[in-house]
A and B are shown apart, each in its own frame.
Chain A
Amino acid sequence: MDDGMAGGKSSLTWVVNISVVLLVALWLFPTAGLFISSFRTADQISSSGWWASMFPQEQNQTLRTARPGEDNIAEVNGVYQIDGNLFVAEGQAADIDAVQATISAWGTGSLNIDEYAPGDTADLGDGEQITVQANGDYVWTSPEPQSGRGQRVFTTAKTPPEFTLDNYRNVLFNPNNREGMAKAFFNTLTVTIPATIIPILIAAFAAYALAWMDFPGRALLIAAVVGLLVVPLQLALIPLLRLHNEIGIGKGYLGVWLAHTGFGLPLAIYLLRNYMVGLPRDIIENARVDGATDFQIFVKIILPLSYPALASFAIFQFLWTWNDLLVALVFLIDSSGDTTVMTKQIVELLGTRGGNWEILATSAFVSIAVPLLVFFSLQRFLVRGLLAGSVK
């Protein structure tokens, strides 16, 4: 693509490159934010923006020394002493060598959390004293043997970037949450697969008839399909729900499969017909001359040749059924909630636990992951399908 501008060409290229970088960044940023957040702890998410997570962060924490016990109190020169490391005592680091945080200030009261510098000694009253070093090492001394819980220390520390898989473990495998996301994941899969496969076959036969068979009313039927392509499915909700209730399907998988099949058919027929019309006439005529029936032509010639168009539609239908909320709300999810799908589950989380970003972000990504995988691995079919479906 060369649009002229002989002079200043390289500067134009630079402008284009920078604009595209900006555009891509703008489009990637929102998703990246949620993705990164799903690997952070609840504390991290609520205390700093996700964009800061790549850099060491200043974090305020309330830590405790080890709980006084017979095994860790040592008597040195008539003074009882407990020593250790705050981060190890809190389980944030496995041992002293693994401590990565650096304390810049600390305090012993919640109103004065940056009273002392690392290495200072704080007086706790009754002769008790505590000294905290920059790496979290502490020495807690007292004229009497310490008792009760560990001493509280408020720290301000720089911590290196830290990411965790705990959110995913929690959302997918924790028995308390299993009922939620993991189950919804399988429910979504159960909705999606039949709802993707069944319309393809019905549509393929119809598309073949509309593309290669001659009969009165063909043009009218094609026009009808084009018209139905844009009919909002909102219109279908109540009449069909009533119909489902009357014939005894009610709310459930069967209903949602049928609904998705019906709603997906116009696009399927339209895409497949457009593709099949473009297949070489000779092959079909030759087969007819050789005495093949329409059924044989369809199964042995048309179907294999239409593979790209079938794949395109399958991807569309898969994405659409996987991402759907409205059809599932109306035709699938009953009051028991056993058949809930992921989109519904996420909306529910948004309502009830809107502040729990670690759960929300992770759940959202569990549901986004599969379509993204399909998208990136089968993108060229998707593009081809879009072009066949839209450009006339």
Chain B
Amino acid sequence: MNPALLGLVTIVIGVGGCLAYFYFSNILLDKVIFPGTGPNAGRNINRAEKVRPWLFLAPAILALGLYLAYPVFATIWLSLTDRSQGNAFVGLANYRQMGLDPKFWEALRNNMLWLIVVPAASTAFGLLAAQLTDRIRWGSFAKSIIFMPMAISFVGAAVIFKLVYDARPEGTNQIGILNAIWLQFDGAIWSVVILRILPVVILLAIATLCAFLVWVFARPVLRPDQSRPGLINSIVRISAAVVTAVLVLACLLGALNAVTGTYPYGVPQQWLTIPVWNSFFLMIVLIWIQTGFAMVILSAALRGIPEETIEAAIIDGANPLQIFFSIKMPQISSTIVVVWTTITIVVLKVFDIVYAMTNGQWQTQVLANYMYDKLFRANDWGVGSAAAMVIMLLVTPILVWNVYNARKEMR
């Protein structure tokens, strides 16, 4: 059958089938199984009301169970069996094999880098864009443009940025804008300002911010009196403090590197083949896409801040920076957490960008692409499923947090 026709038939069957199911199952319930007439009318109506919600829910529960819940358990099982031995149970052998694979550790390391950089940068840019565009007349137009990459596929974005990163041989006209800009640098004073001093300033600023966060996280735990937070809270705070402390160190090392490193001025660079840097060039693609999302949500949150709190701060003589960091930020902190976690999940699942741009070469592998490699290229379902379980494990804290919040909210 022609696929288009098949599609049309499927729509008709799908939609018609759903409607028919809901309509006739309700009739069946009310007229045949528990008729609302006769001697037991009252009791029957009550019974029917008890069953009806499940009629409404049945198709959804079936689909969710089959397509999302069942695969979780099936994947756990697959990760403990070996396909080449007739699906025999092999315990943790697949995990052990994965642990011995340097590509896995590379993917995990890159994923961690992505997890830190992309949500932070997207949220920061989104906050900046939201704060700035809300103050100007053509702000909604600017928002549309920054939001636009959301509609572009990861693959489309990969093509767009492949052109940005394109490199031509030395001596010919560059057609990738990054190399065209790069060739403008020649080691003179402007190169020093932009390539050495500017990165150092930015990195030191981030390091300062992180150091401040370390203090914020650690302070309540270190307090000697009774107001110390509970055990779980303390653990979360201390691990957050440790992670940010590592970030401070990384930023300082980066700053040192920016001062002392040597740059290959005047030579066009194959950006996507330079290890470590190329991961950042891939991250830029996702940051470019996700910033619009962060901006839209944070802009709504910023608008929701009561005017009075800001007016009071102005009267008290606060400057714009103080207003932003001391008045606005605390009020939108829960929204920032939501944006952050949402982008984190997107990052954990990132596949298309890496698949289309480098396919994991030049040390850019990430977990999702590693998993795809194992499942469909190496045909190793055991290790592939084990990698999928690692992704699931990384998602789990967010899952628990979301469920916890949703339940708290419903009460």
Contacts and interface: CB of A to CB of B under 8 A. Distances in A.
Interface of A: 1-5, 12-13, 16-17, 19-20, 23-24, 27-31, 33-34, 37, 45-51, 186-187, 189-190, 193-194, 197-198, 201-203, 205-206, 208-210, 213-215, 218-219, 221-240, 243, 253-254, 257-259, 261-263, 265-266, 269, 293-295, 298, 319, 322-326, 329-330, 339, 343, 346-347, 350, 354, 357, 360-361, 364, 367-368, 371-372, 374-376, 379, 382-383, 386-387, 390-392
B40 interface: no
A201 to B, nearest CB: 5
Contact of B160 (A19, A224, A339, A364): A364
Given A234-B368, A350-B158, 4 more contacts: A45-B175, A47-B173, A194-B7, A383-B296
DSSP majority for the A interface? helix
Contacts of B142: 20, 23-24
Interface of B: 3-4, 6-7, 10-11, 14-15, 18-19, 22-23, 26, 30, 50, 52-54, 56-57, 59-61, 63-64, 66-72, 74-75, 78, 128-129, 132-136, 138-139, 142, 144-156, 158-164, 166, 168, 173-177, 180, 288, 291-293, 296-297, 300-301, 310, 314, 318-320, 323-324, 334-335, 338-339, 342, 345, 348-349, 351-352, 355-357, 368, 371-372, 375-376, 381, 384-385, 388-389, 391-392, 395, 398-399, 402-403, 405-407, 409-410
A39 B68 CA distance: 43
B352 A326 contact: yes
Contact of B402 (A227, A368, A374): A227
20 contacts: A3-B324, A19-B132, A33-B160, A50-B163, A194-B11, A198-B11, A201-B18, A224-B64, A226-B402, A230-B399, A233-B349, A235-B71, A238-B78, A323-B153, A346-B159, A350-B162, A357-B175, A360-B162, A371-B153, A376-B148
Contact of A48 (B60, B173, B320, B392): B173
B391 A235 contact: yes
A293 B30 contact: yes
Contact of A206 (B60, B66, B155): B60
A47 B175 CA distance: 8
Contacts of A34: 159-160, 163
Contact of B155 (A30, A235, A325, A382): A325
A265 B72 contact: no
A347 B293 CA distance: 25
A186 to B, nearest CB: 7
A230 B4 contact: no
A144 to B, nearest CB: 40
A3 B148 contact: no
B84 to A, nearest CB: 15
A372 B151 contact: yes
B392 A235 contact: yes
A198 B153 contact: no
A343 B353 CA distance: 11
A4 to B, nearest CB: 4
B10 A194 contact: yes
A263 B376 CA distance: 20
B148 A375 contact: yes
A156 to B, nearest CB: 14
Given A24-B145, A206-B57, A232-B388, A253 B6 contact: yes
Nearest to B317: A4
A49 B268 CA distance: 14
A5 B173 contact: no
Given A4-B314, A20-B142, A240-B67, A372 B152 contact: yes
A266 B19 contact: no
